[in-house]
Structure 1
Amino acid sequence: MGDSQHSEVSVRETGYDTDAVITIPNLLSALRLAGVPLFLALILRHADVAAIVLLAIASATDWLDGKLARGLHQISRLGQMLDPVADRLYIAATVVGLTVRGIIPWWFLVVLLTRDIMMLCLVPALKTRGYTSLPVHFVGKAATFCLLYALPLVLLGAGPWGWAPAARIVGWAFALWGAFLYWWAGALYVHQTRLLLASAPSLNGSQARSRLH
C-alpha cells in the first residue's frame, strides 16, 4: 500500500477527514486564538462594548469553523484541539480581566483555574497511553457555553445602564452554574482517564509518538 493510501486509511480510522494543518476551519480557529490578547487588553482598558463585540465575533467563528469543517470534510486533529483551547483562553482572559478590575472576586478565578490545572495534570498520564486529550463531554460543552455567555453579562452588569442589575443577576446565576458544570466535567474527565489507564496498555516512547501522530 502506498504512503498516500496508508495516510487516507489512517485518517479514516481516527475519525478525522484530513491531517492537513492549513485548512479554512483551522485558519478561523487561529484567528480566534489571535484575538485573545486583544480581548484581554480591551477589558483591561474598560472598552467593554468593543470587548463584547470581539467576543461575539469569536463565538460566531467558533460556530462557523465547525460548520465548515463538517461541510468541507476538513475535520482535523488540530482543529479539534484548537477549539477547546480557544474557549478556555477566552474564559481565562475574561475572568482574569474582570478579577483585575474588581468586578468578580478572586475566589472565582481560583475555582476555574484550579480546575484547568487539574486537567493539565492528566496530560502526562494520557500520554503514557498515546493520547494528549479526551473527547469533549457534553457537560464540558454546557459549562463552556454557560461561562462564555455568563461572564459578558457580569461585565455588562457593572455598567451604568438601568438594566445592569438584571444583567448582573442573570450573569452570576449562569456563572455559578457554569463553574459547577466545569468541575463536574473535570470529575468526568478524571474518571475517563482512570478507565483509560486501567484498560489501555502502556506504550513505550516510540509507540506513544506513533499514536500521537
Structure 2
Amino acid sequence: MTAANRPDWATIPNLVTLVRFVLLAPVCLLLLDGPDTLAVVLLLVWASTDWVDGMLARALDQTSRTGAIIDPIADRVGLVAIVLSLAVADLLPWAALAIILAVDVAMVALATQAALGGRISVSWLGKIRTFVLMSSVFLLVAAAAWVPSLVPAAQVLFWVGVVLQVVSGADYIIRARRAPADAPAAEEPLSPR
C-alpha cells in the first residue's frame, strides 16, 4: 500500500509507538517489585522504541500526523508512569513526580491547541530535556539493580532533567501564547515523526 493509499495512522512507526504503550505496564510492574536485570533490559527496550519509531518514520518515509501526536504522548505518559513507579519504590522523591506532572498539565492546558494547530513545535531544549530524563531514569534503574552506590549520582542527573522540564515547559508555553493563531511553526514539526 502506498503512502497515498494508506490511512495516516497505518504505519510501521506508529505500530512501534503502540508497542511502547504496551511495554509500559510490565516495565512499571518490574520497577515496583525492585529493579533487577529484567527491569533494566525491558526499560531499555521501552526507551529504545522512541528512537526506533523516529528512525523508521524517516527511513521508510512513513511520517504521519498521527505519529506526530501519539509519539510525544507516549513519551510523557511513559515517563510519568515510570517516575511514579520509582517514587513508590523509594528511588525518587514524590516532589520530582509532582513537578513533572505540574509542568505537563500546564503544557497540555496552555499549549496543546497551538501545537496541534502547527503554530509551535518541539524545540531542541525539549528534546534535550527528554533525553536527560530518559537517560537518568535508565541509569537510576541500572544503578539500583547493579551498583547501588551510584544511585545518588543518577538521582542528581534526574534532578537536572527535572530543571530542564521546568525550563522547556515554560519555553513551550511562552511560545504557544505568543504564536499568532494563523502562524506556522517556526521550527521543526510537532515531532520528528
Q: Shared fold (TM-score greater than 0.5)?
A: yes
1:200 aligns with 181
1:205 aligns with none
Matched, 1:147 2:147: no
**Partner SS for 2:62:** coil
**Partner SS for 2:122:** coil
Higher relative contact order (CA 8 A, sep 6+): 2
1:114 aligns with 102
Deviations 1:123-154 (A, max 9, x none): 56538xx6288411111111111111112322
Rate the CA distance shift 1:78–1:96 in 2: closer, same or farther, 3 A. same
Equivalent residue letter for 1:151: V
Mapped partners of 1:182, 1:69: distance in 2: 26
Mapped partners of 1:125, 1:60: distance in 2: 29
Matched, 1:164 2:164: no
Runs of 4+ in 1 over 6 A off after TM superposition: none
List alignment gaps of at least 5 residues for structure 2. 183-193
Q: Give aligned-pair identity as a percent.
A: 33
Asked if the contact 1:36–1:89 (Cα under 8 Å) also holds between the matched residues in 2, the reply is no
State the aligned residue count: 180
Rate the CA distance shift 1:139–1:123 in 2: closer, same or farther, 3 A. closer
2:188 aligns with none
Please identify the structure whose Cα radius of gyration is greater: 1
* RMSD of Structure 2 on Structure 1 (CA): 2.5
Report the alpha carbon displacement of residue 156 of structure 1 after superposing the two structures with TM. 3.7
Q: Trace 1:55-66 onto structure 2 (pairs within 5 A).
A: 55-66=43-54
Equivalent residue letter for 1:200: A
User: 54-63 or 88-97: which moved more?
Assistant: 54-63
TM-score by length of 1: 0.75
Asked if the contact 1:39–1:93 (Cα under 8 Å) also holds between the matched residues in 2, the reply is no
Asked if the contact 2:119–2:176 (Cα under 8 Å) also holds between the matched residues in 1, the reply is no
Report the alpha carbon displacement of residue 61 of structure 1 after superposing the two structures with TM. 2.3
2:82 aligns with 94
Mapped partners of 1:173, 1:101: distance in 2: 17
Aligned partner of 2:117 among 112, 128, 131: 131
2:165 aligns with 182
List alignment gaps of at least 5 residues for structure 1. 1-7, 9-17, 202-213
TM-score by length of 2: 0.82
Mapped partners of 1:34, 1:21: distance in 2: 17
Deviations 1:50-88 (A, max 9, x none): 222112112322222211111111111111122211111
